[in-house]
Chain A
Amino acid sequence: MATIEQKGMYRSFPRSGKDVSFTHYCPGCGHGIINKLIAEACAELGLQDRTIFVDPVGCGVFTYYYWDAAHISAAHGRASAVATGTCRARPDAVTMAYQGDGDLGAIGFNNAFQAASRGERFGCIFVNNSLYGMTGGQMAPTTLDGETTTTTPFGRDPALTGHPLHVCEVFNQLAAPVYIARVSVADTRRILQAKQAIRKMFEIERDGKGYALLEILAPCPTNFRMTAEKAAQFCITEMEKEYPLAVFRDVTKDATPLVPRDVPRAADCAALFAEKTVVPPAADDPAIAEKRFKFAGYGGQGVLSLGLTVAEAARLERRHTLWFPSYGPEQRGGSANCSVVVSGTPIGSPTVEHPDVLVCMNQPSYERFVGDVVKGGTVIVDETVPLTVAPPEGVTVVRWPAIRLAEEFGVPKAANTMMLAALKKLACTGLSGASLEAALVASFKKKPELGEKNRELLRKAEAREG
């Protein structure tokens, strides 16, 4: 039982809902001792104002009753994930997670391990009492070979449950942690060592040095079904055999925290999202009928950017517009398509079931979509595509040498620009040639010279195919 007036501890524990001054721990429980050591170290170093504790679910769940500091009570197993969020949100705080061996070793192992691997700036105090204390003494990953628990009533059998998990040794394979150690609170000498180690944990986090892990072997007399003295003895003779006390790593002397590399910076959101060319918002004009487009071909033929260019031209003319790509595994088979809707009024349904204009760069897409085109609609198809399927009645099909022209001009990648030439020449988009050209140039924002080059090619193609 904790004595009151301990440094860093509350005098009584109103956070428990009752005005009591004894802890909820069983007599002889390791948690009680560890709680006092933590409270003491935090207070002695003058860190109570700066510290944020992240508490576990396990017998340590009510640690917030006792220490005079800000606390966050995490979900079972998640204290290291929670502490990650906390220390990222408050880099100037001293963030300290507290976890049991079921909490950290089983359900939350990956969260703890990954936080350690990322080198998060928090300390993790890991209480190993070789079992699940709170839920009634079940096996934990740390349970010793042969140890009897409520879920290993015949003793832990490695043939069925594997061997005890050595958390420090596993974490010691990681590059980021600056301090990894195992201590015990089973007798006075060990408690004094543990106290030094806990102090060190606070100093590391106070100085922002990085991730630190401290495993503490602790007796659980209740679930060991032993007296407090015997339980402490079990910690020393049995647990230390499996889990030797050691400092596995201590690079805190030389550790200088990694400083993130520079990235481009913007002063604020407005600066970050500023556009070079200001496109005004769409203006409503009910006289302009809605037009629906579909652009399809093989991935790499540039059908997605062709659609984007048409959408951009519509934007330049202050039309309402949207663009929607095929995505996911659909793209991986090699075919790609996108839909574009252009309208004088806000657009309802975004899906293009029946395009007014269909552009096809390959045979599969022609075969797939030609039947959907509305009466009076236009299909522009590359001349290499055999017209294996008859178009619906009233649909005009134009065969256009997009691929051939691009090759003849020595820019095979520009087949989509050649298709844009067809769209412009046939005047089937409802958009002006000037807008289409401006949008084409704008689509090469990052390489303006390519924009001009493509405009030239587009005009050449128009002139050639007279």
Chain B
Amino acid sequence: MTKFVKGNEAVVIGALYAGCDLYFGYPITPASEIAHGAAKWFPMLGRTFVQAECETASVNMMFGAAAAGKLCMTATSGPGFSLMQEGLSYLAGAELPAVVVNVNRAGPGLGNVYPEQSDYTPAVKGGGHGNYQTFTLAPASAQEMCDLTIKAFEMAAKWRTPAVVFADGLQGQMMESVALPAAEVPRPDFSAWAAQGEPKTRANLVKSIFLDAHAQEVFNEKLQAKYEAMRADALAESCLADDADILLVAFGIGARIARTTAETLRKQGVKAGCFRPITLNPFPREQLAAAAKGRKILSLEIDAGQFADDVRLNLAKAGLGAEAAAVKMIHRMGGEVVTVDDAVKAAKELL
């Protein structure tokens, strides 16, 4: 069964199939259709939709619902995502599973509602206080807005961590065919740690405070070990990369522009390929290194270069210092998107 839906609607479909029981949200363009879909579909399945008074409230409502052992989510865009950073830190500190969808718009400040990837750093590195990270996935189609939302819930529950679905305004508004998931995911059992108001959970305590410095350090070490283990779940894909001279590296909607760019370059006799991280955190470092070794690299992005810096960092950490140093970037900002024409030109300049 396929449905022709906006990426934003596909997120809600994915969340419902994933077993998300509660949605908390505050309207913001270009993410509002997620709230619209949730307001309609959650109650139709007997699930809960709450319009919060602000994004600070949304994220803390998630904290309360997740601590009570239920899967829950919110969706927002830049300004709302900023307001959620404290709450994300608390979710990470209390090791609570929850999913935040950020349909990135242009910034800083009020900016505008057109697509950017400029929230890269807070979405990928943990934008709030303390030593924490989120599990961050970057869809590139309406199908993936659905599928990676499901994956986000799976990873959030598996790693007891907040997960971020990092999309952009273009993907949120774009309609494509989505094949519906085959089945709903069964609800996970969190009664070992959650406060569920039941006899078996009476002794449970959900908190992020460790008054003792040593205990806090031990907890931090545990978190860091978890993030290291999480790396096993890194996802990536590549195309036309096997014999490429030039490798375009891009994520989300950028990866689709990169693919068309590579195909165009191939038609013009240039051996170009693409590499796309599907998870931005954990970053698919080894996969990137395998695809990038000995190649010229062009990072294509809709930000100021935050992603390119991460590409360099990961190449360097994988021992590809020379490739890292030579990474070039093509980017746009402000709601403008890199054109295929410009990307083709930039790639040729690398040769």
Chain A residues within CB distance 8 Å of chain B: 15, 17, 48-52, 54-55, 61, 64, 68-75, 78, 81-90, 92-95, 110-111, 114, 263-266, 268-270, 272-275, 278-282, 308, 311-312, 315, 320-325, 327-329, 347-351, 353
Contacts and interface: CB of A to CB of B under 8 A. Distances in A.
Interface string B55-71: 01100111111111110
Given A17-B215, A52-B197, A78-B56, A73 B205 contact: yes
Contacts of A69: 202
Interface in B19-39: 21-22, 24, 29-30
Given A75-B60, A82-B64, A85-B60, A90 B196 contact: yes
A10 B257 CA distance: 61
B207 interface: yes
A80 B169 CA distance: 32
Given A268-B45, A324-B175, 10 more contacts: A17-B212, A75-B87, A85-B67, A111-B57, A263-B43, A270-B1, A273-B1, A327-B113, A328-B113, A353-B341
Q: Majority SS of interface residues in chain B?
A: mixed
Interface of A is mostly: mixed
B68 A89 contact: yes
B153 interface: no
B296 interface: no
Given A71-B205, A324-B174, A54 B57 contact: no
Nearest to B112: A328
B82 interface: no
14 contacts: A68-B202, A73-B208, A78-B56, A78-B63, A86-B67, A89-B22, A89-B64, A95-B197, A114-B52, A266-B44, A269-B16, A272-B16, A281-B179, A327-B169
B65 A89 contact: yes
Contacts of A266: 44-45
Contacts of B72: 85, 89
A279 B60 contact: no
B53 A88 contact: no
Nearest to A84: B61
A429 B177 CA distance: 19
A114 B69 contact: no
Nearest to A76: B86
A439 B50 CA distance: 36
Contacts of A281: 2, 177, 179
Pairs A-B, 7 closest by C-beta atoms: A93-B197, A85-B64, A348-B260, A70-B195, A73-B207, A81-B60, A85-B61
A349 B259 contact: yes
A379 to B, nearest CB: 20
Contact of A86 (B52, B64, B199, B253): B64
